[in-house]
Amino acid sequence: MFYWVVKVILTPILGALFRPWVEGEENIPTEGAAILASNHLSFSDSIFLPLRTTRRITFLAKADYFTGKGIKGKLTKGFFAGVGQVPIDRSGGAASEAALNTAKRILADGNLLGLYPEGTRSPDGRLYRGKTGVARMALEAGVPVIPVAMVNTDVVQPTGKKLPVLGRRVGIRIGKPLDFSRYQGMEGDRFVLRSITDEIMYELMLLSGQEYVDTYATKAKADIEEARTAANEAMVSDAPRPQRRAS
C-alpha cells in the first residue's frame, strides 16, 4: 500500500522536474513474473524506473539502507521500502544464497524483479561486466529477462551528490524480453551462466549506447581509488618543503 502512496506523490513531482521519457514500455508484460535487468548509473535509477511503469517493481537493495539508526535511519528505511526495495546482504557466500532465495520468492509470486547485473553503480558512466547471478535467477525461476537502459540519471544525480540537478531530462529504454528457456536445467554450468549474462549486457550496451568495459565495476572503482591515492601521495611528496630560517 505504501508503495502506491509514494508513487502517487512522487510521480507528478518528478515528472514536472525531470520530464522523464520512456521507450518500449509495451515490452513489460501486463502480468506474470520477469526480471528487469538495468544498467546502473545513479542512485536515482531505482526511483525513476518504478515510478514510470504501471506495474510494481521490487529491487534488491543493499542492507545498509535499512539498518540506519535514529530518525534518519527510520526515514531512510521507510523510503526504500516505500519505493519497492527489499534488503539483501551482498557479502557473498551464504548471504548470496539468501539473496537468490529472496529473488526467487518475489518471482514465484508473479512479480517483477529489478536487478543491476553490474552489481554496483558505474564509476565513470561506462557499462561494466555483468555478474552471473541474474542468469542463475532467470533459469531457476524460469522467467524472461527484460533489458532496461537508464539514460542521463548520472547527469541528474552524479555519484556522491545527495541532491539532484534540475533542468535535465531522464530517459528509460526498455528492450524486448530475452528468453533463455533453451538453457533450462543448466543453471549449474558456469559457462552457460556467463554466456547468458554477456548476452544481457550486450543488449544493455545497444540500448544505452554506453561504452562496454570487460571488467567488473567493483574492480574499476578500486583501481580509480588506488590511482587517486597514489596521485595525492605524489603531490604531497613533490610539494616544496619550507626552508628553515637561519638563526
The CATH number covering residue 66 comes to 3.40.1130.10
Domain hosting residue 188, numbered range: 2-235
Q: Give me the pLDDT at residue 2, please.
A: 67
Which of the pair, 4 or 201, is modelled with greater confidence? 201
Q: How many domains does the chain have?
A: 1
- Give kind and range of the element (H or E) at residue 228: helix 217-238
Contact predicate 88/60, CB 8 Å: yes
CA distance 22 to 175: 11
pTM: predicted TM-score of the whole model, two decimal places: 0.84
Give a yes or no: residue 217 inside a domain: yes
Which residue matches cell numbers 604531497?
236
CA distance 181 to 139: 7
CA distance 66 to 192: 34
pLDDT confidence bin for 244, thresholds 50/70/90: low
Give a yes or no: residue 154 inside a domain: yes
Give a yes or no: residue 107 inside a domain: yes
Instruction: Give the pLDDT confidence of 48-100 residue by residue, as tens digits.
Output: 888 888 888 988 777 666 777 788 777 777 777 666 677 776 666 666 677 77
- Give kind and range of the element (H or E) at residue 12: helix 2-18
What SS3 state is found at 1?
Answer: coil
CA distance 247 to 199: 73
What SS3 state is found at 37?
Answer: strand
Q: Give me the pLDDT at residue 134, please.
A: 93
pLDDT confidence bin for 242, thresholds 50/70/90: low
Give a yes or no: residue 142 inside a domain: yes
Give a yes or no: residue 242 inside a domain: no
Give a yes or no: residue 243 inside a domain: no
Average pLDDT, the chain: 86
What SS3 state is found at 6?
Answer: helix
Instruction: Give the pLDDT confidence of 94-117 residue by residue, as tens digits.
Output: 666 777 788 889 999 999 999 999
What DSSP line would sit under 81-132, residue for residue?
HHTTEEEE--SSTHHHHHHHHHHHHHHHTT-EEEE-TTSS--SSS-EEPPPT
pLDDT confidence bin for 47, thresholds 50/70/90: confident
Neighbours of 30 (CB within 10 A): 7
Give a yes or no: residue 40 inside a domain: yes
Q: Give me the pLDDT at residue 223, please.
A: 86
Give a yes or no: residue 129 inside a domain: yes
Backbone φ and ψ of 166, nearest 5°: -80, 160
Instruction: Give the pLDDT confidence of 108-147 residue by residue, as tens digits.
Output: 999 999 999 998 899 999 999 999 999 999 999 999 999 9
